[in-house]
A and B are shown apart, each in its own frame.
Chain A
Amino acid sequence: MSGNSEHSSFEHSSSLTTYVVIWLALLAGTALTVGAAFVDLKHFNTPLALIIATIKATLVALYFMHVKGSSEKMTKVVVISAIFFLLLLLVLSMADFGTRAWS
């Protein structure tokens, strides 16, 4: 698949079939999450919806945004630090709102 001129490296692209497969997986994920919403799983509904969404997001990031194949380790560092700092905000503010009922 790599292009003809030598100095343009294409570690950033994969074959068309991969893209279509990922696309179908995303559609399946959407269908799954909508279906699962109508099933009463007590308090598992929300975590399940979030898990499905996270899987879909990771698929988009790895294959469509080429995080998977890219030789560039800085991309992975930036993605992971962004997620880390977002979780920091969510978890530490929950440290306040979650523990208000304890006192």
Chain B
Amino acid sequence: MPDQAVSAVHAEGHDPALLHHFADAQQQRDSSSLGMWLFLATEVMFFGGLFCGYLIYRLQFFGDFGAASSSLSIKLGATNTVVLICSSLTVVLAVWAAQHAKRTLLLSSLILTIILGFVFLGIKGIEYKDKFDEHHVPGPSFSFENVKIPGQPADHYAKPNHAELYFSLYFAMTGLHALHMIIGAGIFVWITVRAWKGQFGPDYYTPVEMAGLYWHFVDIIWIYLFPLLYLIDRHP
């Protein structure tokens, strides 16, 4: 029997969501908010390692990276960016709804967020399938023969091994981002279930806000990933 359930005797006018060791709800909300922001700081450094590798290799092999990046479809990338931005909006609406006890708006925006999340993952799946078909997945099956380097005179061909390096980075970064999307979607399903049970209201909406912070962070990562991976050297 975990300890804090025993602690009911301590808190006077016990608010069900108030954990025993916090003095009041405000202290608890501030702690969760600070805790989540610190976790997001670790995530910034986690993706930071990948961005560092990307920065260094892109400066070394600019032409080949441009050629490899041109093989990605901008349409899908741009739609994914729009999808994520919309999901950020629905998340903000959800938090606002929880604060103002608007149950239907809360539930609908949460569900919309989850749907948009899965739309993003769907589009990502299509892109990955294209890469599989075009043999652009690093490994023995990788082939990137005679692809011209954009912006260079006609007979400049990209080096296959540098292109494989690009796709290694591409799959590492977008794969890690997609994994975070899946975790995010899972969190929102859990939040929706709790919202359905009516646990959130004007005086207790922290979980929705924390899930929102996480989702916005994952959106910010994609805001950087999209131009860096998709939009190198696209001009004629």
Q: Chain A interface (Cβ within 8 Å of chain B)? A: 1, 3-5, 7-10, 12-13, 16, 19-20, 23, 26-27, 30, 33-34, 37-41, 45-46, 49-50, 52-53, 56-57, 60-61, 63-65, 70, 72, 74-75, 78-79, 81-83, 85-86, 89-90, 93-94, 97-98
Select one of A64, A83, A94 contacting B216, CB under 8 A: A64
Contact of A38 among B52, B227, B235 (CB under 8 A): B235
- Name which residue of chain A comes closest to B105, CB basis: A16
Interface residues of B (CB under 8 A from A): 25-26, 30, 33-34, 37-38, 40-41, 44-45, 48-49, 51-52, 55-56, 59-60, 74, 78, 81-82, 85-86, 88-89, 91-93, 95-96, 99-101, 151, 202-203, 209, 212-213, 216-217, 219-220, 223-224, 226-228, 231-236
Q: Are B216 and A4 within 8 A (Cβ)?
A: no
Q: Taking the nearest CB of chain A, how far is it from the CB of B139, in angstroms?
A: 26
Considering the chains assembled together, what is the distance between the CA atoms of A52 and B162 in angstroms? 27
Minimum C-beta distance from B49 to chain A (A):
7
Check if A90 sits within 8 Å of B223, measured CB to CB.
Answer: no
Contact sample, A vs B, 8 pairs, CB 8 Å cutoff: A1-B100, A10-B99, A13-B99, A27-B82, A53-B223, A65-B212, A75-B33, A98-B59
- Do B202 and A46 touch (CB < 8 A)? no
Chain A contact residues: over half helix, strand or loop, or mixed? helix
Minimal Cβ-Cβ distance residue in B for A70: B33
Q: Which residue of A lies closest to B214 (CB)?
A: A65
CB of A40 within 8 A of CB of B151, answer yes
Bound-state Cα–Cα, A39 to B234, Å? 8
Given A3-B100, A30-B82, A98-B59, 18 new contacts (CB under 8 A): A7-B203, A8-B99, A19-B89, A19-B93, A19-B96, A23-B86, A23-B88, A26-B85, A33-B231, A60-B216, A61-B216, A81-B41, A82-B45, A85-B45, A89-B49, A90-B48, A94-B55, A94-B56
